[in-house]
Chains A and B, each alone.
Chain A
Amino acid sequence: MNTATITRESKTQSNTSALWAETISNANENVIDCAVDEIYYGNFLAVRNSHVPIKKGGITGFIGPSGCGKSTVLRCLNRMNDLIPGFQIKGKVTYHGSDIYAKGVDPVLVRRYIGMVFQQPNPFSMSIFDNVAFGLRLNHFKGDIAERVQLALERAALWTEVKDKLQNSGLSLSGGQQQRLCIARAIATEPDVLLMDEPCSALDPIATRQVEELMLELKKNYTVALVTHNMQQATRVADYTAFFGVDISQNGRTGRLVEMGLTEQIFNNPQQDLTKQYVAGEFS
């Protein structure tokens, strides 16, 4: 129970709601503790001073205007940013107590345990079954693959629609179905944490609704970190919300965490001015 890991002097952690302080003091409930000091793409300072704990068993939403670094921070959690040339991070991202950016840690390893769903649905060009089974086979699962595939598809609310056509290509589904397929693929291996980077932005409203309902179901079994550009979605779905803002003070648009807390508190009683303006819809 290490309150010190959270309440260390981070310059942005400025909300003081008692409820929040109590929640974050249960530090052993943090699956990922992301403490970013600086993130660079080449010479460009993309994000600074963002300390975002991800709580177990809940949905943590990242909201903010475009360019505020929410996707960048999310992608740090599973080291996906390593694929971008010139990426550099100063800070620590601890997963179950160990820093995933420590020397000698293999990003491939990290990504096995942390699943990701992307903005554009991106099923592989193979059958629906093979898509969901991909992670199971990759991790040398020795049990009943078909059973796990069915379970994942059921949890992704896709089973009834595809159970008779599991051998069809994943690309033959509609946009919303493809995204749910990608979710099923990600959860088939029962990862600890599921990262979702604006999963509904490429979907129509009906499909969005379905995925949002799905997220509420997923909450029962998985820890989710969600980036969304739609703050109403955060109010509907997220338990905790982190609001990111853009700092143009030092020549350039650097993102930073402005405020974080329980969703009701961020939206009904924001502490920072910037947060107040954003949730009032004064800018987006």
Chain B
Amino acid sequence: MTVNPFNPSDTTDSVCCQPTAKEYTFDSVFRAICYSAALAIIVLLIYIVLEIGIKAVPSFQEFGFGFITGTTWDAVAQEFGVLPEIWGTLYSALLALVLGGVLGVSIAIFLTQDFIPAKIAVVFRTMVELLAAIPSVVYGLWGIYVLIPLLRPMSVWLNEHFGYIPFFGTELNGPGMAPAALVLAIMILPTVAAISVDALRRIPYKLREAVYGMGTTRWEAILKVILPTASSGILAALVLAFGRALGETMALAMLIGNSNQINLSLFAPANTLASLLASSFPEADNMEVQALMYAAMVLLAITFLVNVLGYRIQQFTMRKFEGKP
């Protein structure tokens, strides 16, 4: 019990009083609850990894690392391998990153470097935010009924004339890598744009004054000074976007074709780890479920690796361009 050194009679007219026992107890209890909540968050991640991991163990014992190099997914023959899915995941995410990243950073530059008056910039910003708000399934629906019909004639033309280039090796007969990667790019564009805008905005005005004061053109300033200064933020945006692309499920499940093959062609159907889980889980029997859990662990591992890699790259650019230790 806390000591009250004050004699109440010394402060007669005063309203002051000591905190009640109830207030002290509430304080301790409340702080304990907050601590438990923070612990719960940490425990949650551990629990998730453990839960999926444990359920994946039987499959890991059965297939070992051959799982990662195997190329068939046959529930009947009990043969499981996810190499095509890993390929599809990385290929689609990479394509999306290139397209979405370039577009996103360009839009960020467009919005922050005085290319348009502020009022119009607000319109574009709103549009970017709207893009982010549209749910994944809706993009999938749009992809099926708008994008694929649009791409098909293009794919035929490209295949006819440039079929020797592996990227155009096949025609688009329905779902495939191209529409999936395009939709994925559209979905990660807002992330890249929003975080890059933040990074560019954070550049102090003094720096821009200094650069323009030297007589650079707008683009010289942007390319030589402003972008490098914002590079760690922009890189963070790209890494985050890549991570999101890796984990995206629904739009890809609807657009990528769910075909377990490895093909460089942009127009061939493919599969990703996430879409594999989405399409196979509902009908899976016990054996297949375990294999799917293994696949889930692979996806987790890839996502985690990308996060760590991204963090390292960020550290590096921060050191190089911003002089932070």
In the complex, A touching B, CB below 8 Å?
yes
B136: shortest Cβ distance to chain A, in Å? Answer: 39
Nearest 8 Cβ contacts at the A-B interface: A98-B5, A106-B2, A189-B15, A190-B14, A104-B3, A112-B16, A141-B15, A113-B16
Range of interface residues on B (Cβ < 8 Å): 10 to 19
Chain B interface SS verdict (over half)? loop
A136 contact set on B, CB distance < 8 A: 15
Range of interface residues on A (Cβ < 8 Å): 20 to 34
B214: shortest Cβ distance to chain A, in Å? Answer: 38
The answer to whether the Cβ of A100 comes within 8 Å of any Cβ in the partner chain is: yes
The answer to whether the Cβ of B6 comes within 8 Å of any Cβ in the partner chain is: yes
B4: shortest Cβ distance to chain A, in Å? Answer: 6
Answer whether A105 and B14 are a contact pair too, CB < 8 Å, given A96-B7, A112-B19: no
- Whether A190 and B16, one on each chain, are in contact in the complex, defined by CB atoms closer than 8 angstroms, is yes
A109 contact set on B, CB distance < 8 A: 2, 4, 6, 18-19
* Distance of A108 Cα from B3 Cα, bound (Å): 11
- Whether B15 and A135, one on each chain, are in contact in the complex, defined by CB atoms closer than 8 angstroms, is yes
A148: shortest Cβ distance to chain B, in Å? Answer: 7
* Distance of A275 Cα from B259 Cα, bound (Å): 88
A148 contact set on B, CB distance < 8 A: 15
- Whether A95 and B17, one on each chain, are in contact in the complex, defined by CB atoms closer than 8 angstroms, is no
The answer to whether the Cβ of A102 comes within 8 Å of any Cβ in the partner chain is: yes
B18 contact set on A, CB distance < 8 A: 109, 112
* Distance of A112 Cα from B11 Cα, bound (Å): 12
* Distance of A100 Cα from B4 Cα, bound (Å): 9
- Whether A192 and B15, one on each chain, are in contact in the complex, defined by CB atoms closer than 8 angstroms, is no
Of all chain A residues, the one with the shortest Cβ separation from B23 is A108
A134: shortest Cβ distance to chain B, in Å? Answer: 12
Task: List residues of A (139-165) whose CB comes within 8 Å of B's CBs.
Answer: 139-141, 148
Of all chain A residues, the one with the shortest Cβ separation from B15 is A189
The answer to whether the Cβ of B10 comes within 8 Å of any Cβ in the partner chain is: yes
B283: shortest Cβ distance to chain A, in Å? Answer: 56
B62 contact set on A, CB distance < 8 A: none
A32: shortest Cβ distance to chain B, in Å? Answer: 12
Task: A108-B19, A109-B4 are known; give 6 further A-B pairs, CB within 8 A.
Answer: A96-B6, A100-B5, A104-B3, A113-B11, A190-B13, A190-B15
The answer to whether the Cβ of A91 comes within 8 Å of any Cβ in the partner chain is: no
* Distance of A97 Cα from B14 Cα, bound (Å): 19
Of all chain B residues, the one with the shortest Cβ separation from A99 is B5
A95 contact set on B, CB distance < 8 A: 5-6
Task: List residues of B (19-40) whose CB comes within 8 Å of A's CBs.
Answer: 19-20
- Whether A189 and B16, one on each chain, are in contact in the complex, defined by CB atoms closer than 8 angstroms, is yes
B3 contact set on A, CB distance < 8 A: 102, 104-106
The answer to whether the Cβ of A191 comes within 8 Å of any Cβ in the partner chain is: yes
- Whether A104 and B2, one on each chain, are in contact in the complex, defined by CB atoms closer than 8 angstroms, is yes
B7 contact set on A, CB distance < 8 A: 96
Answer whether A189 and B14 are a contact pair too, CB < 8 Å, given A108-B19, A112-B19: yes
> Contacting A191 at CB < 8 Å: which of B2, B4, B16, B20?
B16
Task: List residues of B (254-298) whose CB comes within 8 Å of A's CBs.
Answer: none
* Distance of A136 Cα from B15 Cα, bound (Å): 7
Task: List residues of A (46-102) whose CB comes within 8 Å of B's CBs.
Answer: 95-100, 102
- Whether A139 and B16, one on each chain, are in contact in the complex, defined by CB atoms closer than 8 angstroms, is yes
B11 contact set on A, CB distance < 8 A: 113, 190-192
A189 contact set on B, CB distance < 8 A: 14-16
- Whether A105 and B2, one on each chain, are in contact in the complex, defined by CB atoms closer than 8 angstroms, is yes
A4: shortest Cβ distance to chain B, in Å? Answer: 20
Per-residue interface assignment for chain A, residues 115 to 150, with 1 indicating a CB less than 8 Å from any chain B CB and 0 otherwise? 000000000000000000001100111000000100
> Contacting B15 at CB < 8 Å: which of A98, A100, A139?
A139
- Whether B14 and A113, one on each chain, are in contact in the complex, defined by CB atoms closer than 8 angstroms, is yes
A214: shortest Cβ distance to chain B, in Å? Answer: 19
A-B CB contact pairs (8 Å), 7 listed: A95-B6, A106-B2, A106-B19, A139-B17, A188-B15, A189-B14, A192-B10
A240: shortest Cβ distance to chain B, in Å? Answer: 21
B265: shortest Cβ distance to chain A, in Å? Answer: 60
A170: shortest Cβ distance to chain B, in Å? Answer: 20
* Distance of A191 Cα from B18 Cα, bound (Å): 12
B6 contact set on A, CB distance < 8 A: 95-96, 98, 109, 113
